[in-house]
Amino acid sequence: MRNAEGSLKLGFWKKISIGLLGGIAGEVAAFAVFFQAQSNWCRDMVAQGSYCDGQGPLVLILTVPLSAVVAATVSMLWTWASLAIPAQSPWASVFGYRGNNRLLNVALVLAVQAVYWAIFALAVYRLTRNLL
């Protein structure tokens, strides 16, 4: 289904599904950065003459749901914003792009996602490290 400008309009449940996928990716990012953050924190604690007390995984009680909510929200907002871009623009959603240069569209989509997830993972790492 397309609107008057030719942009794709996704249904409500498809947008919710995209948000859920973003939330799951946020949870995976929270788990993925936890082990590196804990390792670096323990190394710093040993250097100070202290030790790791084994309670580090408790930080996941906060970081996993927080990451899921933030990632799902950003995912749905990005989907909503990208669907408003005209379908002929290379910045349009990969779901509704109708321009001549499909490779440029896919490259831009992948670049935006890579930058977003790198910044997201760094932010979750720093949050986790500060909470330990």
Residue 2 has pLDDT above 50, yes or no: no
33-65 pLDDT, tens digit per residue, is 999 999 888 888 888 877 777 778 889 999 999
Query: For the ranges 6-10, 40-44, 69-73, 86-90, which has the lowest average pLDDT?
Result: 6-10
List the domain boundaries for the chain.
12-131
Is the pLDDT confidence value at 94 over 80? no
**pTM of the prediction?**
0.79
The dihedrals phi and psi of 2, each to the nearest 5 degrees, come to -120, 150
Helix 102-131 with 60-83: angle, nearest 10 deg:
160
Contact yes or no for 26/99 (Cβ under 8 A): no
Residues 16-33: what's their mean pLDDT?
Answer: 90
Residue type, 71: A
For residue 114, the one-letter residue type is A
